[in-house]
Amino acid sequence: MRFWDSSAVVPLVIGQPASPHVSAWMSADDAIVIWTFTIVEIASALRRLVREQVLDEQTAGPAEARADELANAVHVVADIEPVKIGARRLLRLHQLRASDALQLAAALHWAEGHPHGRIVHTLDARLGLAAQREGFTVPA
């Protein structure tokens, strides 16, 4: 079982240059863990692509449906209070945005505070570095 940040999930639901890479991660272990608000981050990413006219609505709608199906089929970290507390600590230690701190705190909560040997999938370099510093393995 591996934790997936939203940046790694988006290429699973919509064709992007990173899609083959994340598909390989999925082949290695399809037991996915996500943060409860990852589905909102995915919707935000898809809507941004529509606004930027990189993606049309006929593609975005089915991609959102695939994201919903995925979210219903994976393990979701939904314990908000301990994740919120952990995110505040992470913001003091690492150069992270709030959403990334919440993602990493959710991963730490899932790992029960013992990240050694646990994997975090992310395409975000800053989040990946912070996850490594916290003790996670972050595949390239």
Averaged pLDDT for residues 50-62:
95
Averaged pLDDT for residues 28-55:
96
Averaged pLDDT for residues 130-137:
98
Q: Is 139 part of a structural domain of the chain?
A: no
Q: What is the pLDDT of residue 5?
A: 96
Closest CA to 77 of 127, 45, 37: 37
Q: What is the pLDDT of residue 44?
A: 97
Closest CA to 24 of 45, 3, 8: 8
Averaged pLDDT for residues 18-24:
96
Q: Is 45 part of a structural domain of the chain?
A: yes
Q: What is the pLDDT of residue 111?
A: 98
Q: Which two tokens stand for residue 90?
A: 């992470």
Q: Is 71 part of a structural domain of the chain?
A: yes
Phi and psi at residue 49, in whole multiples of 5°? -65, -35
Under a CB-based contact definition with an 8 Å cutoff, are residues 42 and 34 in contact? no
Model confidence, pTM: 0.94
CATH number reported for the structural domain that contains residue 38 in this entry: 3.40.50.1010
The domain in which residue 24 lies consists of 2-134
Q: What is the pLDDT of residue 95?
A: 97
Percent of the chain with pLDDT over 90: 99
71-to-12, 14, 68, 91, 120 alpha-carbon distances in Å: 12, 15, 5, 26, 17
Q: Is 78 part of a structural domain of the chain?
A: yes
Q: Which two tokens stand for residue 128?
A: 């990946």
Residue bearing tokens 């989040």: 127
Q: What is the pLDDT of residue 30?
A: 86
Q: Is 80 part of a structural domain of the chain?
A: yes
Whether the predicted pLDDT of 7 surpasses 90: yes
CA–CA gap between residue 21 and residue 87 (Å, rounded) = 28
Q: Is 37 part of a structural domain of the chain?
A: yes
140-to-14, 82, 122, 129 alpha-carbon distances in Å: 20, 28, 9, 11
Closest CA to 102 of 110, 116, 65: 110
Q: Is 86 part of a structural domain of the chain?
A: yes
Q: What is the pLDDT of residue 86?
A: 98
Whether the predicted pLDDT of 128 surpasses 90: yes
Q: How many folded domains does the chain comprise? A: 1
Q: Is 140 part of a structural domain of the chain?
A: no
How confident is the model over 66-93, as pLDDT tens digits? 999 999 999 999 999 999 999 999 999 9
